[in-house]
Structure 1
Amino acid sequence: MHSKDTDLYSRQIGTFGMETMGKLIQMKVLISGLRGLGVETAKNLILAGPAAVILHDDALVEMRDLGANFYLSEADVGKRSRAQACAAQLSQLNPYVTVSVHSGPVSEELLSGLSVAVFSEASQAELLRCNELCRSRSPAVGFVAADCFGLAATCFVDFGEHFTCRDKDGEEPRSAIVAGVTQENPGAVHCHHDRRHGFQDGDWVTFREVQGMAELNSSQPRQIKVSGPYSFTIEDTSGYSAYVCEGIVSQVNVPHTIAFASYGQSWL
């Protein structure tokens, strides 16, 4: 990120982290449907600072829209589309974000280069069509369909069949002090009882500063299976040197692929 971006979004960097914020300011997002939920999404997203936001809603402003979209006025009723009527004020929220309006149907050409497409109050047929268009891109365009019904709301997310997740929970990686490691298959690792290790089945960890069983002191992550609040198992350690003392085990985030179901698969 440039220094001006760092200064401008310093508070968000503290919340999201530098890496996430660096990706956010490069995003190009389509928001289709600009009644209450859509315009609130647009407002919050523009304030967050993506590269560009495209507004899409060809329906003419109705009087009832004034109760949900606070960027509309009576002068817009029956004369301008919802997207055109609120674009100017939305663009003033953040001069570093390019805000534009798209008229006409959502097409493959429009989706090209997008990071995410957000739809609200769209018909099932339109959602099915647009979801397939998003999934057909390479890489897939993130697809979000949301609706609000008073106190109830729905949200569907699809980032394609090959979405790489680099941090599964957003939490700080956990660490624990090693108290013992057995020489067996699988090897059992015991941690000090002053604090639960907090690991879960399938987590990946690395070891350091282990005395004796030096084979564990490698940078290569290994997957674990939790056997208790203070213990877990790893690979076959029967051929390793005997554990003597000390050692720290730390959780690491290993990228993994998530296969999202399509809107059609989830809805039908």
Structure 2
Amino acid sequence: MKLLRWGPKGSEKPGALDGDGVIRDLSAATADFNGDTVSLEALDALKKLDLSSMPVVPKDTRIGCILADVPNFFCIGLNYREHAVESNLPIPEEPIIFSKATSALSGPFDDVILPKGCTKGDWEVELGIVIGRECSYVGEDEALDYVAGYCTINDVSERAFQAERGGQWIKGKSCPTFGPCGPYLVTADEVPDPQTLGVELTIDGEVQQKHTTADMIFTVKEIISYMSQFMTLRVGDIIATGTPQGVGMGQKPPRYLKAGEVMEIEVEGLGRQRQVVKSYAG
């Protein structure tokens, strides 16, 4: 099932894509997608709906972030070998975990706004995981049983804030609009193997990143199991699983985002995003 949220920013409603690619309004069947409404039990109930009986949403309707809000927005750093190499950092022996502020969440077609003082805006296409059941001390063999679904994420970054201002990476990851998620939350049953998905990001039509999740250092099940040894993952948590090589800071010379550029981001089977880059205007 491909779930989504549609409508003006701040007034989104829950929806789903039917077999003909038509958006259906699920407002009569569920509250907005947020926390328990994307639990495995809640999703099982939605899968029983007759989507053809649900109201049709106009084609030109805005699609918002897949979730209204999340308990946590986690990320895995340097999870593709060649990305670690281009970043001049050692290959991780264990997953590197950091966070983005949940206020960075954004719609898949909303503008990306470069913040005040931005000099090194960057891009990162990533496979996203949404947790569907509270998860603690889970083994790898059962880890995928805790996944509600998957999504496309652009982990937008400001590298000077991230690496040159001291402290943790979260400062360079959390600016408003720096977390486009969607367009769809694709339920786990439609993604039998998350390690076989192509990932791609273009800027103004030029391919910057093109790879496959098969080359992740730590797989989805390893990430979930590992994280659950240190924390309880909550229903609705989003985990961005890392990006392949081709980010701006790794190019020679480095290339950073400029106002007016258009990013397009896709994870195979999970939908394609499109964002126009703009400068902060106050």
Could you state the TM-score of these two structures normalised by the residue count of structure 2?
0.23
Instruction: Choose between structure 1 and 2 for higher RCO, CA contacts under 8 A separated by at least 6 residues.
Output: 2
Higher helix fraction (1 or 2): 1
